[in-house]
Amino acid sequence: MDYQALADLLFPNVTETPDSLEEKFPLRQLPEGAVVTRMAPSPTGFVHLGNLVQGLTAERMAHQSGGILFLRVEDTDAKREVPGAVEVLINTLKHYGIHFDEGATIDGDNGAYGPYRQRQRADIYHVYAKKLVSEGMAYPCFCTEEELSAMREKQEANKETTGYYGKYATWRDRSAEDIQAKLDASAPWVLRFRSTGSIENQFKFDDLVKGKLTITENDVDHVLLKSDGIPTYHFAHAVDDHLMRTTHVVRGDEWLPTLPFHIQLFKALDFKLPKYVHIGPLMKMDGTSKRKLSKRKDPELALTYYKAEGFPVEAVYEYIMTLLNSNYEDWRRANPTADPTTFKFSPKKLNPAGNLFDYAKLTDVSKNEIAKMDAPKVYALLTEWAKEFDEDFATKLESDSEFATKILAIGRGGKKPRKDIATWKEAKPYMGFFYDEYLQEPVFDEKFDNATIIDVLNRFLNSFNIADDSGIWFDKVKNITEDIGFTTDMKAYKADPSAFKGTVADVSTFIRQAVTGKTSSPDLYTVMQILGEQRTRERIQNTIARLS
């Protein structure tokens, strides 16, 4: 077989050569050890937690080493493409602090190694397809869908491995005449790789996450180009990651089964093999067993979920880092205020089996992150969230920013800041009562009659002076307690509750409920200071009126 003639026949319009492409996309001039890596998503419009896990791994590896992170859009499957998906992806990742140095952008391409959208790279793939054909390493296959399914059925019936290999690779060694006849009849064809591998052979491979692997060679003649001339993922991966000078491929471990083929392909194309970082799946507990997070069942897989719930970016970032590197938490304890990018990230610390996503842990991390922020920052982030997800609340927050910031300052700063909220969504239930429209009518404990509660509230009003310091304020509450025959001696009460009508805690709760509508709230003295004398009195009076 004259392979060069076959290559010219199949790709008459390809004039460029691998050498000219090598020149066009030269090796990058980067310092020793700089990692060039990428995110290579398909534009399906759905950005998930897995993208973030991969994105952060890639981002850290690139930027920590003085390398490059680029974005390549894998749009070879036009059927799955959703308009605007690239924009959603870029904006979502940017929201989480992942910035690309190069690649596809909202307004086109940025960088010297493009185009960065695969559908625009058809000519480039054809250069290498032609090269492989000319060297006898790829060939056209004219099998129809029906023929392929008949073959599969036969293999299944014989209990053989399914696929296009060995004696089943019916177009592997066909004559030039057979090929010509099909081409003359305009029969559609795909381009297949001529595998020289054998499943009898194994070799060792080192993955940066999975460690040392024993890999069985690939013997399947996989498809390189589909019948429309568009490459499969495998072929595009080899060509693109070579020409874009990727040093590390960070991707999900669902690609591990086809890795033997990828290694073979790099070799056949005379490309240097990049290093691989295969990331395990994100899982969750479902009852007592683990399962992969699923798009269909788990809303928390989508990144939009975290934005809508109001998890600050810092919290999600911090949580993902704790998932990715087991020593991150210790580092954080030792460096509580350090920028997370100063942590020395290592792909080798990733759990090869994947990670268990733990919502409660995320919530904890988020509480800590919010507790670390100062009030103006909390105000700014909360307002930004509310503008998108709770407009009414946003209007209230913005109507008096000083008032809102004072509220948000309660319990902040100091050695042990309060950890009241984990998400911006929780802010309204926590502090909404400061706004009259959100104040709820209190429901008092039925153990106490209205007359007692009214009595306490009247006594409080009579003694209340906004100028009191918190010590005097509380002394007054204690005096009321004793005056109505309740006790301030919590120890004695605990020993024999039946000996008392109630305690200072009950008295405080009556006042708290009258002022905040709730049985728990931030420090009540501070709440009154922020509300001011008049509004505090009004609220207590309204409660008395309702109970009377």
State the residues that interact with ligand GLU by CB under 6 A.
40-42, 74, 237, 249, 251-252
Q: Which is nearer to ligand GLU, 194 or 292 (CB)?
A: 292
Count of residues for the chain?
Answer: 548
Spatial separation of the C-alpha atoms in residues 528 and 512, rounded to whole Å: 10
Spatial separation of the C-alpha atoms in residues 137 and 42, rounded to whole Å: 28
- Provide, rounded to whole angstroms, the least separation between the CB of residue 159 and ligand GLU: 31
Spatial separation of the C-alpha atoms in residues 156 and 216, rounded to whole Å: 21
In angstroms, the first-to-last Cα distance of the chain is 103
Q: Which is nearer to ligand GLU, 41 or 502 (CB)?
A: 41
- Provide, rounded to whole angstroms, the least separation between the CB of residue 196 and ligand GLU: 24
- Provide, rounded to whole angstroms, the least separation between the CB of residue 279 and ligand GLU: 10
Helix (H) or strand (E) segment spanning residue 37: strand 36-39
Do 431 and 408 contact (CB within 8 A), yes or no? yes
- Provide, rounded to whole angstroms, the least separation between the CB of residue 372 and ligand GLU: 34
Within 220-304, strands assigned E span 223-225, 248-252, 275-279, 282-286, 289-292
Q: Which is nearer to ligand GLU, 166 or 252 (CB)?
A: 252
- Amino acid making up residue 315: A
**How far from the centroid of its chain's Cα atoms is residue 432's Cα?**
30
In 3D, which of 22, 19, 24, 236 has the Cα closest to residue 112?
24
Q: Which is nearer to ligand GLU, 232 or 521 (CB)?
A: 232
- C-alpha distances out from residue 115 to 102, 103, 241, 412, Å: 11, 8, 12, 50
- For residues 106-133, one letter each, b for 16 or more C-beta atoms within 10 angstroms of the residue's C-beta and e for the rest, the string is eeebebebbbbbbeebbebbbbbbbbbb
In 3D, which of 432, 433, 436, 427 has the Cα closest to residue 381?
427
- Provide, rounded to whole angstroms, the least separation between the CB of residue 55 and ligand GLU: 10
Q: Which is nearer to ligand GLU, 237 or 539 (CB)?
A: 237
Q: Which is nearer to ligand GLU, 221 or 241 (CB)?
A: 241
- Provide, rounded to whole angstroms, the least separation between the CB of residue 74 and ligand GLU: 4
- Provide, rounded to whole angstroms, the least separation between the CB of residue 249 and ligand GLU: 6
Q: Which is nearer to ligand GLU, 241 or 309 (CB)?
A: 241
- Provide, rounded to whole angstroms, the least separation between the CB of residue 354 and ligand GLU: 15
Q: Which is nearer to ligand GLU, 74 or 300 (CB)?
A: 74
